[in-house]
Structure 1
């Protein structure tokens, strides 16, 4: 009845985040997307470049972001 007793999911997925080609999970994709507009165009371009060049497992937390990217985004 009205979903009151339904088990809650861990985190909802977002279609826009799922349709990206990034080495980030859904939550990290949304977080980065929220932070990018705050960067100037040079830093934003460098973040895009870092993500394109990244070769490793899917990033699931801020600590797993490349060091240069964390520094640029002040995380």
Structure 2
């Protein structure tokens, strides 16, 4: 009636938009939540993999490089 029960369209998070990763907004936010669970060596390795990634923007978990999926136990 007044519009306060309407679902709002998903907005892009400013922090995710300001990163330089080959990930979609949703995957950037997911990775930001998962990275603190890794030890520092694994985090550095994830950063290196993403930095050296050459390809299209990753929009699905299944499209993440295998090593990242292994480190984060995403199966």
TM-score, scaled relative to structure 2: 0.89
Q: Residues 19-58 of structure 1: matches in 2 within 5 Å?
A: 19-58=18-57
The structural deviation recorded for 1:4 is 4.5
Match of 1:71 in 2: 70
Match of 1:13, SS state, is coil
What secondary structure does 2:42 align onto?
helix
Runs of 4+ in 1 over 4 A off after TM superposition: 4-7
DSSP 3-state at the match of 1:68: helix
- Name the count of aligned residue pairs: 74
User: Structure 1: any 5+ residue segments left out of the alignment?
Assistant: none
SS in 1 for 2:32: helix
- 1:5 Cα offset (Å): 7.9
> Which TM-score applies when normalising by structure 1?
0.89
Partners of 1:14 and 1:68 in 2: CA distance: 26
Offset from partner CA, 1:26-56 (integer Å, 9 cap, x none): 0000000000000000100000000000000
